Amino acid sequence: MSALVSVDWLVLAPALAPAAGVVLVLAGDALAGGRAGRWALPLAAVTLVVGAGLALRGTVAGADAPLRTLCLPAPDGACLWTAGPRTSTLQAAVLLAAAAGLALLHDGRPRPRDGAVTATLLLAATTGGVAVAAARDLGTWLVALELATVPAVALVALRGSRPAVHGALSLLVTSLASFALLVLGAALWLTATGDAAFSRPSAAAAWAVPEQRAVLLLAVTVLVAGLGFKLSLVPFHAWTPQAYATTDLGTALFLATASKLSAVAALLVVAGALVDLGGATTPVVLVLGLPAVASLLLGTVVALRQDDPVRLLAWSTIAQAGWVLVPLTALSDAGARAAAAYVLAYAAASAVAFAVLSRTGARTLEATRGLLRREPLAGGALLIALLVLAGLPPGVIGLVTKILALSAPVTAGVWPVALAGVLAVVLGIAVYLRWVAVLLGAGTTPTALEEPGTGRRRSSVVVLVLGGVVLVVTSALPHVLLASAS
Amino acid sequence: MVVSLLLALPAAAGLWLVSGGRALGVRPARLLTAVTAALTLGLAVAVVVLGAEVDRPWLPELGVRWSFGVDGVSTPLLLLTAGIGLLVALHAWVEVPAGGSPATFLGCLLVVEAGALATFAARDAVLFLVAFEVVLVPMWVLVGRYGDPHDPRARTEAAQRFVLYTAVGSTTMLLGILLLVASAGTADLRALAGGAGLGTGVQLGVAVLLVVGLAVKVPVVPLHTWLPPAHTTAPTAGSVLLAAVLLKMGTYGLVRLPVASVPEGFGVLAPGFAVAGAVGVVWGGLVCLVERDLKRLVAYSSVAHMGFVVLALAAGSQTGLQAALYGNVAHGVVSALLFVLVGGLKHRWGDVDLAVPRPALRETSPRLGFVLVLGLAASLGLPGLAGFWGEVLAVYAAWAPADDRPRVVLVVCAVVAAVGAALAAAYSLRVAGIVWVGDRPDPDVARTPDTSGMERWILAALALAVVVLGVAPMLVMSVTADAVAGVVGAR
């Protein structure tokens, strides 16, 4: 086998760690029987954190010398796995977000009885999410993306309750549709470029020929639509609020962060090949820009009316997905960097918000009234997370990533998207400040309304503290995050 | 180093007060705030005297540098901000509004001050924007939480309106800054000053985005509708900061960004801008003639005064810029005086409805009465007081604008603004007539207690500043002269 392709196990480690975790958890479950449920989640979390540590190794590698492996020998020596600093950062973020999801699952009441199955599904989805970020060829990309999606559907379905099954059903239908679209898109890409990899030269060559250009445009359209389901872009967003609201917080956190990170990583693989198209790129900009504008506006407007914090976060996810697409409309390297930085900041803030909800058990905005006084730690973390999402100092990292995101379309002259961004900033501030006002308000709600046993939710506290620290540090030194996303 | 300290000190103390020190009692909190504000003022003076600066990479991805320093344009505003910051800190001895912990209130004041100082000291366009945004959340808290306790709904609405209007403005400005930075290839305001050598089309695009964005903050009619409710509901210290510092960030931004970096583009917009300024003068004056709420009246008079500043900026000449910068500082001092005074009256009376007959201020509380008359006189532009020079020079600058401005439009605007100045005299006398001369003393009505203690010293300091600026305008103008010549001369 090594004659055919070279394999560097250490480079593959970020994806191998969760895969090894699957094996460990299943083996433990087989050996220990029903008692495995107790330690399956912590074991899985440990493998994820180890994987994240190994992924961070790639962030220090230079952008011009990415970690590569699974390379074909000759003649062109293409590598199926290419992880530059940005990819490595996204991989580490996927792994850590999945670990945060596990932490919330661990705190969930009732605690999942089938811990081993839950952990296996989550680890499998994470493996796919990590692999898709480094995939550069159509085959690996498709398989990894599907591996990232299908276990997530099962995860939602597993939560037992009837509405959860409904949520899973709608998620399943959409992910089947999205998979069909992605396969079709990959096939069209292959037809248009004659290249089984996402590479700039072949995309540019195909764009230069009018007949191939039409096919390539169709391929991009279908691929964006397929990824749109995963990213919750309007008009492919309908499953999001339902799935978030009916599942438990740990799974919702996983869907909102790890799943989105891997979807953006997959999108960046496609968008990266579209940078040097040359010639009239307006159709491609339209394909990316229309869902971006629609998500920005619809997501924020609907989020304005939500009283369930999970639904509010679901709709804000839709809006933030639009924000990730905004810099990509510039079709430039700076745009890709801005999108990666944006999704990283968003994921950290979202994880903190979900962790606070898990910690407090709040199911309405009103239940968080005066949280800042009752629980300064949780309230403070939620406050900074909301300000980052709104893009207001002291959540400087949110503002800086928004500046970066708007900078790309302004430089490229994509004004409609930039102007929609202005509107989305203002509406978004209204959305998040509405919640902040509740947080700051006088604590009139008796704490007796909360779920019992919230005092023992230590894993959620760990997530919200670590996430809060990440937000504060990157707000003080935004360069840290931007450098790792470049 | 000194500059970093100047910004870090109030920011750190403020952030600590709103987070770790939330539970601090009112006495230690206000002592800490006052000491911080006093040290900040000292540092501001040191920065100006030493010409201190700091310059290091911040966001290499955007070419943004952590670059702070002062020049002639920013010096008066930096000192004004630090001075007003100290006065609002001292005002905590007069009144700390209910609505939350006093430490949070004072912390928010300090963070607003830090944000304003950073805005005036920033020498990088993107950094300027980030600093500009820093004041938003603390000011929102000040208005929304600590504002007028009588009407929570109006408070929430005023705070929201303030934030959303300002966010529209600053995001529009952000697009302008990004376009400017992308076209000019640098975000350094010193390199951008004097025109970055852009084409006319790009200049116009940048100028439209920047002017519209900053006009919300100034505010320029018709984008001013957030200001009166915010002023009416804000606590006294918040109103003072809003009028004396936050509005200045808008006009300062106009001088720094469109006027200095895209002069041709701004020149195209200048006639429309001048008309908006003149309309603001008259509009504000007319509203003041009929407004019943004294606090709202002072807010509308701010709109009118900012109209003069806008008109002066539009004139495009060296005199115009000087008038704008001077008018900025003068309005900062005069409006601070009036808001401290009116806030004090509101505190005493419960409301400041002019339709309610009250005993004459000159009889019941002569010191307050004197300061009121002084403030109103400065506001109407009486010679020898701070308001005079800004308005006279603004009208003069519009009468004799720069060569590339359409003279007819500006002359008409000058005439309209002069009429507006007459309106200012009318409404000032109206207020003096109602409040100072007052109704006949009713033995049953409680007398208005006169000012004493800390409030007296704050009012005295502001009154002194009003007189000194009016008698010796060269104090400000000599500082700004060179920098202004640099901005205008380079065109």
- pLDDT tops 90 at residue B68: yes
Total Cβ atoms within 10 A of residue A146:
17
By the CB < 8 Å criterion, does A394 face chain B?
A: yes
Per-residue b or e along B401-420, where b marks 16 or more CB atoms closer than 10 Å to that residue's CB: bbeebeeebbebbbebbbeb
Asked if residue A196 lies in contact with residue A139, where contact means CB atoms within 8 angstroms, the answer is yes
Average pLDDT over residues A134-146: 91
Closest approach of A402 to chain B, Cα-based (Å): 10
Token readout for A458 is: 């230590």
- pLDDT per residue as tens digits for the range B175-191: 999 999 999 888 888 88
- pLDDT per residue as tens digits for the range B129-158: 999 999 999 999 999 989 888 888 888 899
A353: confidence class by pLDDT, cuts 50, 70, 90: very high
Task: Count how many domains chain A has.
Answer: 1
- pLDDT tops 70 at residue A455: no
At A112 the pLDDT is 65
DSSP state of B348: H
Determine whether the interchain pair B168/A422 forms a contact, defined as Cβ–Cβ distance below 8 Å: yes
Considering only CB atoms, B62 lies closest to which of A404, A418, A426, namely A404
Determine whether the interchain pair B178/A410 forms a contact, defined as Cβ–Cβ distance below 8 Å: yes
Give Dmax over CA atoms of chain B in angstroms: 72
The domain ranges of chain B are 268-486
Dist CA B203 CA B262 (whole Å): 5
DSSP state of B295: H
Percentage of chain A surpassing pLDDT 90? 50
A458: confidence class by pLDDT, cuts 50, 70, 90: confident
- pLDDT tops 60 at residue A444: no
- Pairing mode, if any, of strands A79-83 and B53-59? unpaired
- pLDDT tops 90 at residue B215: yes
Nearest residue to B190 (alpha-carbon basis) of B117, B128, B123 = B123
Asked if residue B66 lies in contact with residue B8, where contact means CB atoms within 8 angstroms, the answer is no
Total Cβ atoms within 10 A of residue A208:
12
- How far, rounded to the nearest angstrom, does the alpha carbon of residue A115 sit from its chain's CA centroid? 23
Determine whether the interchain pair B171/A421 forms a contact, defined as Cβ–Cβ distance below 8 Å: yes
Asked if residue B27 lies in contact with residue B58, where contact means CB atoms within 8 angstroms, the answer is no
Average pLDDT over residues B34-41: 96
Token readout for A163 is: 């509405």
Contacts of B318 (CB under 8 A, 6+ apart): B484, B485, B488, B489
Size of interface A-B (CB pairs under 8 A): 85
Dist CA A402 CA A388 (whole Å): 10
At B446 the pLDDT is 67
| Interface mutation target, options A375, A410, A435, A444, chain B, most CBs of B under 10 Å | A410
- pLDDT per residue as tens digits for the range A329-349: 999 999 999 999 999 999 999
- pLDDT tops 90 at residue B445: no
Nearest residue to A55 (alpha-carbon basis) of A81, A73, A79, A77 = A81
Closest approach of A413 to chain B, Cα-based (Å): 9
At B141 the pLDDT is 93
Closest approach of A431 to chain B, Cα-based (Å): 11
At A3 the pLDDT is 52
Asked if residue B155 lies in contact with residue A417, where contact means CB atoms within 8 angstroms, the answer is no
Mean pLDDT score across all residues of chain B: 90
Higher-scoring residue by pLDDT: A266, A78: A266
- Pairing mode, if any, of strands A67-71 and B64-69? unpaired
Determine whether the interchain pair A392/B137 forms a contact, defined as Cβ–Cβ distance below 8 Å: yes
Considering only CB atoms, B175 lies closest to which of A422, A426, A429, namely A422
Average pLDDT over residues B13-17: 94
Is pTM beyond 0.90 here? yes
- Report chain B residues whose CB lies below 8 A from the CB of A411: 178, 182
By the CB < 8 Å criterion, does A337 face chain B?
A: yes
B216: confidence class by pLDDT, cuts 50, 70, 90: very high
HSE-CB at A262 with a 13 A cutoff on CA atoms is 33
Token readout for A111 is: 């605690």
Average pLDDT over residues A31-50: 81
Dist CA A449 CA B350 (whole Å): 38
Determine whether the interchain pair B134/A394 forms a contact, defined as Cβ–Cβ distance below 8 Å: yes
- Report chain B residues whose CB lies below 8 A from the CB of A486: 61
The angle formed by the CA atoms of residues A243, A249 and A250, to the nearest 5 degrees, is 105
Dist CA B126 CA A403 (whole Å): 9
Average pLDDT over residues B244-255: 92
Q: Indicate the residue type of A444.
A: T
- How far, rounded to the nearest angstrom, does the alpha carbon of residue B424 sit from its chain's CA centroid? 19
Q: Is residue A285 part of a domain?
A: yes
Chain B contact residues (CB < 8 Å to A): 15, 19, 22, 57-62, 100, 115, 126, 129-130, 133-134, 136-137, 140-141, 144-145, 156, 160, 163-164, 167-168, 171-172, 174-175, 178-179, 181-182
- pLDDT tops 70 at residue A35: no
Average pLDDT over residues A235-247: 86
At A398 the pLDDT is 94
- Determine which of A109-123, A223-237, B84-98, B400-414 has the lowest per-residue pLDDT on average: A109-123
Nearest residue to A350 (alpha-carbon basis) of A317, A379, A376 = A317
DSSP state of A447: G
- Report chain A residues whose CB lies below 8 A from the CB of B171: 421-422, 425-426
- Predicted complex ipTM exceeds 0.95: no
Considering only CB atoms, B59 lies closest to which of A334, A393, A479, namely A479
Dist CA B298 CA B341 (whole Å): 11
B440: confidence class by pLDDT, cuts 50, 70, 90: low
Expressed as residue numbers, the domain containing A315 is: 281-486
Determine whether the interchain pair A406/B22 forms a contact, defined as Cβ–Cβ distance below 8 Å: no
Higher-scoring residue by pLDDT: A109, A364: A364
Dist CA B104 CA B249 (whole Å): 24
Mean pLDDT score across all residues of chain A: 87
Determine whether the interchain pair A403/B62 forms a contact, defined as Cβ–Cβ distance below 8 Å: yes
A2: confidence class by pLDDT, cuts 50, 70, 90: very low
- pLDDT per residue as tens digits for the range A190-203: 999 988 888 888 89
End-to-end, the C-alpha distance of chain A in Å comes to 34
Token readout for B478 is: 């000599």
Dist CA A345 CA A348 (whole Å): 5
State the residue for tokens 């990959």: A186
Q: Is residue A103 part of a domain?
A: no
Determine whether the interchain pair B130/A393 forms a contact, defined as Cβ–Cβ distance below 8 Å: yes
Q: How far is CA A213 from CA A165, A207, A219, A329, in A?
A: 42, 4, 10, 18
- pLDDT per residue as tens digits for the range A389-406: 999 988 999 999 999 999
Percentage of chain B surpassing pLDDT 70? 97
By the CB < 8 Å criterion, does A404 face chain B?
A: yes
| Interface mutation target, options B171, B208, B209, B210, chain A, most CBs of A under 10 Å | B171
Nearest residue to A41 (alpha-carbon basis) of A93, A104, A95 = A104
Closest approach of B338 to chain A, Cα-based (Å): 30
Determine whether the interchain pair A387/B160 forms a contact, defined as Cβ–Cβ distance below 8 Å: no
Dist CA A275 CA B44 (whole Å): 48
At A448 the pLDDT is 44
